């Protein structure tokens, strides 16, 4: 008479049912990683393997890669550098405090694009000064606005995304640049969690940073109103 070892059958059945899901999960994870690599290479073909692995690791928490891909797919129109100052001034006037806009500086940030030529999105930096009725300074903040001037709309979006991603590198070396995702601002936004009141966001071909603010509760108010004004102006232009 042949006896069946039930324990061995149970183990074999377990292996048959457990291994396929594990293998399937591994295949899915590899496909997700390859897709993220593809998106990052589209943003900048010059990213090294170390860059890509670093950004994919960051994406596990910050979830920015899929947002950037979706934004690029829907690339339709761009923000104009000349519009920004008037939009920012209009924003500050709507806030019921004594805010003054003071132009601080302008510079260009050179990065190497996918065509291997040096390209220069322009960054304008402004001081936001809060005063009382006696013109005494109560607080200050800086707003840096970077806009890609490329004529190709999708490339302009990709260039600004590249500029945004550049700042994630700092989280490796600086204790002051740990980022955390925040919602409801532009297309994508993060804050520096170890610097109160410092954060940045991306919207189409524009990146905005607010920093050095000693009145943090005002930063988000300015940011949200400014974003609303930008969206409103663009909607009027493209109706």
- Helices 153-166 and 6-43 meet at what angle, rounded to 10? 110
CA 113, CA 163: separation in Å to the nearest integer? 11
pLDDT of residue 112: 46
pLDDT band at 24 (very low <50, low <70, confident <90, very high): low
Tell me the pTM. Answer: 0.80
CA 209, CA 40: separation in Å to the nearest integer? 22
Answer yes or no: is pLDDT of 128 > 50: yes
Answer yes or no: is pLDDT of 189 > 80: yes
CA 158, CA 205: separation in Å to the nearest integer? 8
pLDDT of residue 238: 72
Residues forming beta bridges with residue 127, ordered by sequence position: 102, 142
Q: Helix, strand, or coil here: 214?
A: coil
- Taking residues 52-59, what's their average pLDDT? 92
In the chain, what are the domain boundaries?
A: 6-63, 81-237
pLDDT band at 11 (very low <50, low <70, confident <90, very high): low
CA 4, CA 32: separation in Å to the nearest integer? 43
Answer yes or no: is pLDDT of 19 > 70: no
Encoded tokens for 203: 């919207």
Of residues 76 and 109, the one with the higher pLDDT is: 76
Own/partner contacts of 116-123, CB < 8 Å, gap of 24 or more, are: 116/46, 119/150, 119/159, 120/149, 121/146, 121/147, 121/148, 121/149, 121/159, 121/160, 121/163, 122/81, 122/146, 122/147, 122/149
């Amino acid at each position: 008479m042949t006896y069946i070892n039930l324990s061995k059958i149970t183990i074999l059945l377990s292996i048959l049912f457990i291994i396929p899901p594990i293998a399937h999960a591994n295949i899915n994870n590899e496909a997700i990683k390859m897709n993220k690599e593809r998106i990052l290479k589209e943003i900048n073909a010059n990213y090294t393997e170390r860059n890509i692995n670093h950004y994919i690791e960051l994406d596990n928490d910050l979830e920015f890669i899929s947002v950037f891909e979706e934004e690029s797919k829907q690339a339709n129109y761009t923000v104009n550098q000349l519009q920004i100052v008037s939009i920012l001034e209009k924003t500050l006037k709507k806030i019921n405090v004594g805010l003054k806009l003071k132009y601080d500086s302008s510079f260009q940030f050179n990065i190497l694009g996918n065509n291997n030529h040096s390209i220069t999105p322009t960054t304008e930096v402004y001081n936001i000064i809060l005063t009382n009725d006696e013109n005494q300074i109560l607080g200050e903040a800086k707003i840096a606005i970077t806009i890609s001037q490329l004529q190709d709309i999708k490339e302009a979006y990709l260039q600004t995304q590249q500029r945004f991603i550049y700042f994630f590198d700092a989280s490796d070396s600086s204790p002051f640049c740990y980022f955390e995702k925040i919602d409801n601002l532009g297309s994508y936004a993060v804050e520096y969690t170890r610097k109160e009141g410092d954060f940045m966001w991306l919207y189409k071909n524009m990146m905005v940073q607010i920093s050095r603010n000693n009145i943090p509760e005002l930063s988000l108010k300015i940011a949200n109103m400014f974003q609303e004004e930008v969206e409103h102006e663009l909607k009027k232009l493209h109706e």
